[in-house]
Amino acid sequence: MPLLHSKTAPPVAQKRPETTAQLGRERHDDYAWLKDDNWRKVMDDPSLLDKDIHAHLDAENDYTKALMSGTKDLQVEIFSEMKGRIKDDDSSVPSPDGSYAYAHRYRTGDQHGEYYRTKRADIGGSRETLLDADALALMYKKQGFSFFDIGSLAHSDDHKYLAYAVDVQGAERYDVTVLNLQTGAPIGKPIENTAGDLVWADDAAKNCLTLFWVERDDNNRPSKVWRKNILDKTAKPVMVYDEPDAGFFVSLGGSDTGDYVEISCHDHTSSEIWIIPAKTPETPPVCTEPRQHNREYDLHDHADDFYVLTNESGATDFKIMRTKQAAPGAEHWQDFIPHTPGTLIIGLETYENHLVRLERKDALPRIVIRDLTTNTETTIDFAEDAYALGLVGGYEFKTNIVRFSYSSPTTPGQIFDYNMETGERILRKTTEVPSGHNPQDYTTKRIQITARDGEEIPVTLIMRTGFKNDGKAPCLLYGYGSYGITIPASFRTNILSLIDRGFVYAIAHIRGGKAKGYDWYTKGKLATKHKTFDDFVDVGHGLAALNYTSEGRIIAHGGSAGGLLVGAALNQAPELFGGVIAAVPFVDVLNTMSDESLPLTPPEWPEWGNPLTSDTAYDTIASYCPYTNTVDANYPPVLITAGLTDPRVTYWEPAKWAAKLRDHQKGPAPIMLKTNMDAGHQGEPGRYDSLKETAFEYAFALKVAESFE
């Protein structure tokens, strides 16, 4: 078949060997030169990319384009299918706030949509446009920017002003503009170089209107908090907080009641919260409890109390504690909802009379509502074998309505309003599939596969109803397995294009996520990180043993840290996979974790270990790093994607890996690299443009699957 046996010659990257000495060890890198010495400036201006590097990435793109040229019609077909499952003129459920209700909608043909509001008393009535994102994207395009993404958007408490953040490079550096909603005119000049977080103070009664934002430093790390009274034309921004530790990122939020502006400082395992009264934003921030290694906490205010969601005192799956706002320190925290091993508390929200928590047990979520006046609890869950459930949140604290989302691999997404006083559940929206969708045509299963060390790995499967377990079906096996992130068993219309063509789709809920609680996360990080990769390989073998597919018919799919997953699994068991899709893959772990100038490196050390200071961390990372462990093998076809301005997985990681894989390829299958020269980690931001990227990946999977016959 053309994809596997094309006569098109692959690009050959120059070898410019470099040797690095570290902790008494040496490592060699032929392709370190692909990292532009001027990479920080390239993030902001891609035209500054070194010409040799640019030429190589262009050659890789040309090669991939040539090999995939025979799939153009298939890509168009898949794109049309996926687009046909999206309602062109869709809208979110308006969220009430005071006399207004705020929402977002897509008009026919929109890529980014329109943000609007209606009168609360007439939600179905006339709409007031707050921001036309498609018109804004067009304006930037005319200025020469091909990328456009809205980071966040926040209206002031008096409903008179709107702040929004825009990224036009894909590097996640956002410029913030404030609009006067009465005139539509911008207030002052845009605030540059922010992380996108925006919080308004509640000081309109003082004839002020203070906006808080987070600034990125020279290494693209969110590290400083600023504020400014936007009504004072002579006022200069005031720095509120400056994070001294490069290993901690800073973010902003508003408390549940709106009474506080919260500054959160965090790495992956520790946190610290500073608070500022929203009505007096000039007040210096107060640290509620100093950071402590491996302790996480967040605060939820209610009346005179803070409810604290924390893993304090060995509460592995978290518990809820309570303290007075006047005494927020940990020495005053008292147990309120105790720790229950195996039941992970994921999130918490407070309302005037209720406490709402989202939990996960045995890889399934549920919502638990506690009436704070009676201390009785109500649970919301569903009967399907696998499903996704989430708290949607809103603007209001004094309400008896909690909004949540529900879907399953076969059930389109739904939005419910639940009356916490009466128990009434109101369906506000069901995701429409214009081209048609019959849930009975598909079957979802949740199975357990035993790993090599005896652990039971949950796996979510979706297939056509009537699927035969004869081992002949191709399988797209998806996984992530890092940072405690759990892949939800939600409705994904895109994957139906593969399932309808005979694929079985599998999500491996491997260690490193939190599918089975926080302990499931700790069992797949640092010194035990190899368990993540072992689990993924064992799930592949298990699916073949159960005849859902066969070894060699599995296409591994993962992105970012999931790209690390599929890269490590590929090195471990290349014969298991018939193909690999590695999206913006984090595959050069040892070099990246040894470069503390990179944006994410210091905050990532709690996840991977610090190979600059620890022999154990160095050797552990070196044992699984896909780039380090590339060896001579008969690799299957591999499709690798990258984003030139990606600050999370820098473009040179996938570029180096592609070159090294090709060096060691002993079989005929191609190693393909596609770099988006105009985007970053998330790829194309528009709702239709992003589908084209997915259609490209799925066309690769289908073309590879043809060779299984």
Q: State how far Cα 12 lies from the chain centre.
A: 33
Say if residues 197 and 211 touch (Cβ distance below 8 Å): no
Q: State how far Cα 273 lies from the chain centre.
A: 22
* Beta-carbon contacts of residue 124 (< 8 Å; ≥ 6 apart): 118
Say if residues 158 and 182 touch (Cβ distance below 8 Å): no
pLDDT of amino acid 6? 60
Say if residues 666 and 703 touch (Cβ distance below 8 Å): no
pLDDT of amino acid 277? 98
The single residue of 110, 534, 646, 707 carrying the catalytic annotation is 646
3-state secondary structure of 256: coil
**Based on the number of CB atoms within 10 Å of its own CB, is 214 exposed (0-12), middle (13-18) or buried (19 or more)?**
buried
Phi, psi of 341 (to 5 degrees): -55, 135
Q: What is the torsional sign of CA 435, 436, 442, 444?
A: positive
User: Is-catalytic flag, 541?
Assistant: no
Q: How far apart are CA 380 and CA 423, in angstroms?
A: 10
What domains can you pick out in the chain, each with its CATH number? 18-84+443-706 (3.40.50.1820), 95-338 (2.130.10.120), 342-434 (2.40.128.660)
* C-alpha to C-alpha distances, 211 to 132, 464, 474, nearest whole angstrom: 22, 51, 52
pLDDT of amino acid 2? 47
Reading the block at residue 236, the tokens are 């200069």
pLDDT of amino acid 125? 87
Q: How far apart are CA 674 and CA 671, in angstroms?
A: 10
User: Is-catalytic flag, 97?
Assistant: no
| Cβ neighbour number for residue 166 with a 10 Å cutoff | 22
| Helix 652-664, helix 51-67: angle, nearest 10 | 60
Q: Give 17-36 as a DSSP string.
A: -EEEEETTEEEEES-GGGS-
- The residues of the chain scoring below 70 in pLDDT are 1-6
* Nearest of 508, 476, 474, 465 to residue 489 by alpha carbon: 508
Name the CA radius of gyration of the chain, rounded. Answer: 25
Q: Phi/psi zone of residue 547: left (φ > 0), alpha (ψ -120 to 50 degrees), beta?
A: left
* Nearest of 219, 237, 312 to residue 282 by alpha carbon: 237
* Beta-carbon contacts of residue 104 (< 8 Å; ≥ 6 apart): 91, 92, 113, 114, 115, 116
Q: How far apart are CA 669 and CA 18, in angstroms?
A: 28
Residue 684: its H or E element: none
Q: How far apart are CA 51 and CA 38, in angstroms?
A: 12
* Nearest of 328, 282, 329 to residue 305 by alpha carbon: 328
3-state secondary structure of 310: strand
Q: How far apart are CA 104 and CA 133, in angstroms?
A: 10
Q: How far apart are CA 307 and CA 257, in angstroms?
A: 12
* Nearest of 482, 436, 478 to residue 461 by alpha carbon: 478
Say if residues 278 and 261 touch (Cβ distance below 8 Å): yes
* Nearest of 590, 586, 588 to residue 618 by alpha carbon: 590
Reading the block at residue 706, the tokens are 């043809």
The single residue of 112, 149, 681, 707 carrying the catalytic annotation is 681
* Nearest of 20, 46, 17 to residue 33 by alpha carbon: 17
Say if residues 544 and 449 touch (Cβ distance below 8 Å): no
Reading the block at residue 565, the tokens are 């997953």
pLDDT of amino acid 1? 41
Say if residues 688 and 654 touch (Cβ distance below 8 Å): no
Q: Model pTM? A: 0.96
User: Is-catalytic flag, 560?
Assistant: yes
Amino acid at 78: I
The single residue of 255, 560, 594, 707 carrying the catalytic annotation is 560
3-state secondary structure of 622: helix
Cα dihedral: 195, 196, 201, 206 (round 10)? 100
Q: How far apart are CA 596 and CA 618, in angstroms?
A: 14
pLDDT of amino acid 709? 72
Reading the block at residue 364, the tokens are 């399934």
Phi, psi of 151 (to 5 degrees): -80, -55
pLDDT of amino acid 5? 52
